[in-house]
Amino acid sequence: MGLIENRFEKNVLVTTVDSVLNWARTSSMWPLTFGLACCAIEMMATGSAHYDLDRFGIIFRATPRQADIIIIAGTVTKKMVPPILKVYNQMPDPKWVVAMGSCATTGGPFKTYSVVQGIDKYLPVDVYVPGCQPRPQTLIASLVHLQDKIKAEHTIAKK
Amino acid sequence: MCPAKVMPEKRRVKIHMGPQHPSTHGVLHLVLTLHGERISKVECEVGFLHRGMEKIAENLQYQQFLPYPERLDYLSGLVHPMALCLTVEKMMDIEVPKRAAYIRVILAELSRIASHLLWLATHALDIGAMTVFMYAFREREAILNIFEMVTGGRMTFNYFRFGGCKQDVPAGFVERVNQFIYDFPSRMQDYETLLTNNRIWLLRTRDIGHLSAEDAINYGVTGSTLRGSGVDYDVRKEFPYSCYEEFDVEVPLSDRCDTYGRYLVRLEEMRQSLRIIKQACQNLPEGDIIADDPRVKLPKKEEAFNNMETMIRYCCSVMEGFSPPAGETYMSVEAPKGELGYYLVSDGSPKPYRLKIRVPSLLNLAPLDLMSRGHLIADIVAIIGTLDIVLGDVDK
């Protein structure tokens, strides 16, 4: 077609497939809208007007089928583990897990009969976010860390 | 086998909503029985966030348990510890200095506005009004900044102490609050412009989730949900605590008994909270910030480091805590969700023998089945939203 003829002669970029994949994955990490407890409110605050996660390409999706990241935001109880695993298994690969707050990382202040002492007993956690609750800045920093982690991944090339 | 001969009961479909659903405000699991598009029955399953709060209380000293209640109702994190402090103070017969009581009132009312803003944001978002969500979070950030200035935390604070507050408010606090009081009414006008006469909003909320006054009382519903059914009951007016009797305030009511009526009540409550804050800021008395009672007031650090007896007393206060007299007491406050009560049984030891928490959200959730019968499936999110529940509060 006339529009694209001779347009690429000076604009050819050479890169690897891994870099393109990682670039695409880091630029559109879509977390699942999934709150458990107090941390979910800070997660909402991070997503809303003042802190605005959209500028990182992070847009919350309500269905696990469209999500790349699951943010475990809040206290995980023993009763809640099966639904979490169900949701996690519904997410397509590649997927990442962020454990937000002390409850999701270690059980936090709730060392009781009903609370799971850290979601990493059930899910492969990529980033742990400290705090009770973590401030929105902390959550943003952790997501940027996750972006760095994704950038270093190899899908095609052997390490 | 002819479809026309199948009884209607057999054609009813059961679907599960939650615990992972953005509109159930947390980890609430509903089993909806549907007849076509209409809801014929709702069953609630709770307990997905049960953390064993009451059992934790029995194993900790009073001051060790103080950071926990604000994780129950995390939307208004200052009201729960206030209720616990008032209960223990009633038990030990401690009189809180007036300045501390006033600061508690200002922070509790700011908490109420923050909680109602979050209710408005999520309620509107569930029904489809995205703009209100963004606006309401903007004002909520302004309140959280004031909290951060006073307590150092945004949502969990650990600021109140038995007998008063941890420390005095910083310089510039009153000016900051006054600025908020000045700004907020025009922001409220924005929400009203977006919602109150919006045709879609009216269609989605009017005559949805009808709850008569009689049913509301029978189910034990309290707070704005009860006042939206026209029952004049507010703990701040009926059983005043923490100097609430000194403020001139009205209790907003609505006779509509539906989602729209409860929306109007909560908006008016924010205005009334603003009035209380204004009066408290104008008349904020000078004085101590914590009661001068050796059981709850720690000695000053300078004295503790230079005087052996004071140091021993300091260590004992921290390590052993205090022991209220044996007995039992009940104290309730008006939390943003409804009546929040703490029932405390003490056996004279530094740990509570039993602490029963009367949470408003659990009882407000009870009439959900009654309110949603016969409505369309899309209305269930409006009805959950109007009940203003928070799952930490429901499950304890």
Q: Using the beta-carbon criterion (under 8 Å), do B137 and A44 form an inter-chain contact?
A: yes
* Interface test mutation site (partner A, options B45, B49, B138, max chain A beta carbons within 10 A): B49
Q: Using the beta-carbon criterion (under 8 Å), do A45 and B156 form an inter-chain contact?
A: no
Class of domain B53-395: mainly alpha
For A114, the closest chain B residue by CA position comes to B51
User: Smallest Cβ distance to A80: which of B27, B55, B135?
Assistant: B27
Work out the angle at residue B365's Cα, subtended by the Cα atoms of residues B364 and B367, and round it to the nearest 5 degrees. Answer: 90
Query: Is the model more confident about B271 or about A3?
Result: B271
pLDDT tens, position by position, B230-277: 888 888 888 888 888 888 888 898 888 889 999 999 999 999 999 999
Give the number of C-alpha atoms closer than 13 A to the C-alpha of residue B230, restricted to the C-beta side: 10
pLDDT at A1 over 70: no
Per DSSP (E only), the strands in chain B are: 13-17, 29-35, 38-45, 160-161, 164-165, 327-335, 338-346, 354-358
pLDDT tens, position by position, A59-113: 888 888 989 999 998 889 999 899 999 999 999 988 999 999 898 899 888 888 8
Q: What is the pLDDT of residue B322?
A: 85
Cα distance between residue B46 and residue B50, in whole Å: 8
- B173-203 per-residue burial string, b: 16 or more CB within 10 A, e: under 16: beebbeebeeebeebbeebeeebeebeebee
pLDDT at B7 over 60: no
pLDDT tens, position by position, B104-157: 999 999 999 999 999 999 899 888 888 888 888 888 999 999 999 998 888 888
The pLDDT confidence band at residue B4, using thresholds 50, 70 and 90, is: very low
Q: Using the beta-carbon criterion (under 8 Å), do A112 and B52 form an inter-chain contact?
A: yes
Q: Chain A contacts of B134, Cβ < 8 Å? A: 48-49
Average per-residue pLDDT for chain B: 87
Distance, in angstroms, between A116 CA and closest chain B CA? 10
Q: Using the beta-carbon criterion (under 8 Å), do A75 and B49 form an inter-chain contact?
A: yes
Q: What is the pLDDT of residue B125?
A: 87
B32 burial class (0-12, 13-18, 19+ CB within 10 angstroms)? Answer: middle
Q: What is the CB neighbour count within 10 angstroms for residue B131?
A: 13
Q: Using the beta-carbon criterion (under 8 Å), do A113 and B134 form an inter-chain contact?
A: no
CATH assignment of A34-151? 3.40.50.12280
pLDDT tens, position by position, B295-317: 888 888 888 888 888 888 888 88
Q: Which two tokens stand for residue B71?
A: 């994780």
Q: Which two tokens stand for residue B241?
A: 């605590």
